[in-house]
Chains A and B, each alone.
Chain A
Amino acid sequence: MHSKIARAALIIVVAGFGLAAARRVRAQNDAAKAYKANCVMCHAANGSGDAPAGKALKAKDLRTDQTQKKSDSELADTIAKGKGKMPAFGAKLSPDLIKSLVAYVRDLAKK
């Protein structure tokens, strides 16, 4: 009896981890898609800002300490409300997607 309960608990835990992992992968995919559609024009695929449009608009290098030292909420705020020449994306991107984009920007610095 106890072994059946333990086995069921194990299955639930493994499934839970699996679902969480799948959700995280999906969020990463959505963020990558959103980054390509909305950010690459200026910030370039690697976040360096060295796309021609980015150079002209003096877009920030997202990999630098200046950007990475900002808190998640500060970065999310910048994406949602815009800053300087960067337009606001809050009307287009959901708060969850913006959160995923912040994580994506963090990952750019690690690459």
Chain B
Amino acid sequence: MVDPLRRDILLHRGIFVAVALALIFIRLMPMGGLPGTLPGPDLLMCLILAWLLRRPDYLPALLIVAMVLLEDLLLMRPPGLWAALMLVGTEFLRSRIALTRELSFVVEWLFMAALMLAMFLGYRLILAVTFLPQVAFGYALAQVLASILFYPVVVWLSHVTLGVHKPGMGEVDEMGRRL
């Protein structure tokens, strides 16, 4: 006897895990990926940010950290660092949900672009402070720019196929409170 709203949240969390796993494994496929080609977008980051802004209750912090940490470990990145930055970035966003709800999409997009760039710079900074070898700046920046470009696509796809959208006026959560 799970009530429909609770079930909706659980369902979407399950979908998120499935989509995130699929994204990681698509990246692991041994297909091309020749050195020197332009890096594609970080779709998992786009997905997390897009969903979080719309329905923060779908993505608890632990779930985000678990998926990003798994990605860190499987893709041979320094473990934990990107996960920590994603956690800080998403918490920053989560505490400003009430502010971002009224934004038009273009402003939201700019806001997200700034957030992605900030996380990217933070990542580079920490790598530099710990004396780790880094990829050339422009080359790594290309990935962030690709992510920014793909963000609207991810938003549109998750709205059309999975119905992830900002809560409307009269929607209530499982305890009957307004969202």
Tell whether A pairs with B: no
